[in-house]
Amino acid sequence: MYNTDMPTRADLPSSAQLLRSTLIAAGVAAAILVTVVLPSEYGIDPTGAGRALGLTEMGEIKTQLAEEAEADRVKEQTGQVPVAPATPGQRSSLLGSIFAQLVIGSAQAQTATPKAKSENMSVTLAPGEGTEVKMDMRKGAKVTYVWKVESGTVNHDTHGEGSGNQISYSKGRGVPGDQGELTAAFDGNHGWFWRNRGSAPVTVTLTASGDFGSLKRAN
């Protein structure tokens, strides 16, 4: 039924032979990695064989082009000159190359993150008088705030408006103050309206901290 003879147990490789073949294959792969891949891709040449074969120069050119492209991208995104990457000669291992990239990424993230600002404002309201204080905010921006009334209470409406949108975040009547976090629902002006319904003047003091463009009294 068969055209060829089945191999006998003696013809099959032993476990020792399989292990030896595996170790030889691993050694060849490691040698290719050290002598060919690292020099040609990263400019890393621990044995010197890559430079003798002309591969190290190729890797250094690739690395330099990649670093220049990354520097241009960081500069275009942040508008600032990025941290200078390590030169190929300074990287003695693949870990050094990875570390250099991590440093660039960290510097980019720190530069791109907007710095939080903090401003204070006080307004005095005569009996029956109302006023509005607004912040210019982008959608998703967050601001933490605290405002207090000296010598009385006020009615308030924490709200936002812009681009045809309106929203009321919270309201209150006869309150001595408020605090919390305001997250802009859309691009526009977000803030507070206060009215003094008492019989004597009051002063409202506000502290706002976070991501906003300007803080101003609307009227």
3-state secondary structure of 2: coil
Predicted confidence (pLDDT) per residue in 22-43, tens digit: 888 888 888 887 777 777 777 7
Q: Looking at residue 2, what is its pLDDT?
A: 47
> Per-residue confidence at 92, pLDDT binned at 50, 70, 90?
very low
Q: What average pLDDT does this structure show over 59-70?
A: 71
Question: Over pLDDT 70: what percentage of the chain?
Answer: 72
Q: Looking at residue 12, what is its pLDDT?
A: 62
> Per-residue confidence at 203, pLDDT binned at 50, 70, 90?
very high
pLDDT at 215 over 90: yes
Give the whole-angstrom CA distance, residue 91 versus residue 134. 52
For the chain, what are the domain ranges?
A: 15-112, 117-217
Higher pLDDT, 152 or 112: 152
CATH architecture, domain 117-217:
Sandwich (2.60)
Q: Is the dihedral of CA 49, 50, 51, 52 positive or negative?
A: positive
Q: What average pLDDT does this structure show over 175-200?
A: 95
Q: Looking at residue 31, what is its pLDDT?
A: 80
Q: What average pLDDT does this structure show over 56-83?
A: 67
Mean pLDDT of the chain: 78
Mean pLDDT lowest for which of 38-42, 78-82, 193-197?
A: 78-82
Predicted confidence (pLDDT) per residue in 100-148, tens digit: 454 455 445 444 444 578 999 999 999 999 999 999 999 999 999 999 9
Q: Spell out a b/e string for 77-95, using b for 16 or more CB atoms within 10 Å of the CB, else e.
A: eeeeebeebbebeebeeee
Q: Looking at residue 142, what is its pLDDT?
A: 95
Strand partners, 75: none
Give the whole-angstrom CA distance, residue 27 versus residue 46. 16
